[in-house]
Amino acid sequence: MDLSIVVPFFNEEENVRPQYERIVAALDRLTLRSQLVFVDDGSGDRTWEELRAVAAQDPRVRAIRFRRNYGQTAAMAAGIEYADGAILMTMDGDLQNDPDDIPRFLEMLDKGYDVVVGWRFHRQDRLLTRKIPSQVANWLIGKVTGVPIHDNGCSLKAYRAVLIKMIPLYSEMHRFIPAMASLAGAQIAEIPVNHFPRRYGESKYGLSRIYRVLLDLVTIKTLLSSVDRPLLWFGAIAGGSLVISVGALLAALLDPWALHGSPVLISMGISLLFGAEAAFMMFSGVFSELVYRTGDVQIEKLSEVTAEVFEVTPVGGGR
């Protein structure tokens, strides 16, 4: 299999068939062997019925259904796991991405890039609730990670499968794939892409995602700073806290004037506070080291969140 297109859907019953037809029209102009992996992220409407109908008529389509809604990143991770192509592309299921941009992504991969990111230069979304928060987030992500991408939130991306299948995805981590790929020395390119207004359904994005993105950004910064030895990074912080803790304790014990007044309580409190912080940071370092050495720790295994996988005939050997 040459190319797999991964598309997550959540309550997009009106968009399933139009999206399928647009992608197929673009792929039919190429000479690549292609596969479509559609993921229903626990929709409450007829999205799954529409996906099954599409998969029943086209053996290139593999449809996956989650038991409940797990979020866009989890849906992408499942699609990537079930994809067979040497090249993987992702896009949204809301018809806002343009499948006609696919050949341009493939051209960039042919030039030697490992990750190609879409940039919605003329983004068709609301200014205050979508565009401005996105611009701020992209600036912040670029500053923290050192990977200056204009549009980390654009789902239209292309990857070499050998790379993307190595990257653990959870929470809102799909936004940080370029940053995580940079850890492996991946060559990353960015190209302007078309973007259309939403025609059917409602946007699933909101300001509530900002909190999770910020937490994930802290995680990414930790990964970029510690790389393969997180214990050293956390240990350095713990060491500093321990020095302050011991210093405060000695000040309380050796100062004869402090023993009969409130300063001793303050010094002891500071000692306990920084001692507890040192212990916590060491625990975090040990835990992070275990996570790194055992691989991606996921809340639930893929087999547990997936309710059904439907396809007419197995593509590339099946599962």
Tens digit of each residue's pLDDT, the chain (319 residues): 799 999 999 999 999 999 999 999 999 999 999 999 999 999 999 999 999 999 999 999 999 999 999 888 899 999 999 999 999 999 999 999 999 999 999 999 999 999 999 998 877 666 665 667 777 777 877 777 778 888 888 899 999 999 999 887 876 778 888 888 887 789 999 999 998 888 876 665 655 566 666 666 766 666 666 555 555 666 666 777 778 777 777 776 666 555 455 565 666 667 677 777 777 766 666 555 555 444 443 434 555 566 678 777 554 444 4
Q: DSSP states of 196-262 as a string?
A: ----SS-----TTHHHHHHHHHHHHHHHHHHTT-HHHHHHHHHHHHHHHHHHHHHHHHH-TTGGGSH
Contacts of 294 (CB under 8 A, 6+ apart): none
CA atoms within 13 A on the CB side of 170: 11
CB–CB of 210/134 below 8 Å?
no
CA distance 3 to 151: 23
Q: For the full predicted model, state whether its pTM sits above 0.85.
A: no
Please report the pLDDT score of residue 242 as a whole number: 77
| In the chain, alpha helices (H) | 16-27, 47-57, 72-82, 102-110, 132-145, 161-164, 177-183, 209-226, 230-254, 262-294, 302-305
CA distances from 105 to 98, 99, 100, 115, 156 (A): 12, 10, 10, 9, 9
